[in-house]
């Protein structure tokens, strides 16, 4: 018979795992990597479940930290060599939300992990600069500068997007 800790944990996972997976996917751009991130975070949380006051912010912090740490690690994914590298063509603009989302997803993958994490926290998770800094254990100024650099790069990578929108600039 499961104890109270297992029951509470299972209920939390059933209720919030999908939201955590969406965030992890936004970070990684890969479903399998996202599932691995969430699974690792849940395993870490289960070991400390009784001591965690607010599980969702704790898990999100673990997901973001593990994502950024994985790219710093010397064991990060190895590149695959091919006989001839593909020639990148100019991005094709199609008047559809799906095509634009795919372009944006591909552009996000080209950002450094910290910049990607900042954008996901700020604009996907809708956190403030201060909340983002707390999750990433850095200063608010670091969040602002990383967001600025990331948006500058995204503007170059996806010029088809309407970058004049107030939300992109952080104005509400």
78's CB contacts (< 8 A; 6+ apart) are none
DSSP class of residue 51? G
170: left (phi over 0), alpha (psi -120 to 50) or beta: left
Cβ atoms 158, 108 nearer than 8 A: no
* Per-residue tens of pLDDT for the chain, all 172 residues: 568 788 999 999 999 999 999 999 988 888 999 999 999 999 999 989 989 999 998 999 999 989 888 765 555 555 556 666 656 555 544 455 777 778 888 899 999 999 999 999 998 888 899 999 988 889 999 999 999 999 999 989 888 776 655 444 444 3
6's CB contacts (< 8 A; 6+ apart) are none
29: left (phi over 0), alpha (psi -120 to 50) or beta: left
* C-alpha torsion 46→127→132→120, nearest 10: 80
Q: In this predicted model, what pLDDT tens digit does every residue of 144-160 receive, in sequence order?
A: 999 999 999 998 988 87
């Amino acid at each position: 018979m499961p104890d109270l800790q297992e029951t509470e944990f299972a209920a939390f996972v059933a209720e919030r795992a999908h939201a955590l997976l969406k965030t992890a996917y936004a970070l990684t751009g890969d479903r399998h990597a996202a599932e691995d991130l969430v699974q690792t975070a849940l395993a870490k949380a289960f070991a400390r479940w009784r001591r965690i006051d607010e599980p969702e912010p704790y898990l999100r912090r673990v997901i973001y930290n593990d994502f950024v740490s994985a790219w710093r690690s010397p064991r990060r994914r190895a590149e695959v060599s091919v006989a001839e590298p593909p020639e990148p063509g100019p991005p094709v603009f199609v008047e559809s939300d799906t095509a634009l989302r795919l372009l944006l997803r591909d552009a996000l993958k080209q950002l450094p992990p910290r910049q990607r994490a900042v954008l996901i926290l700020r604009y996907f998770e809708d956190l403030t600069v201060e909340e983002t800094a707390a999750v990433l254990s850095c200063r608010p100024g670091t969040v602002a500068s990383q967001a600025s650099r990331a948006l500058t790069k995204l503007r170059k990578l996806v010029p088809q997007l309407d970058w004049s929108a107030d939300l992109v600039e952080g104005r509400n």
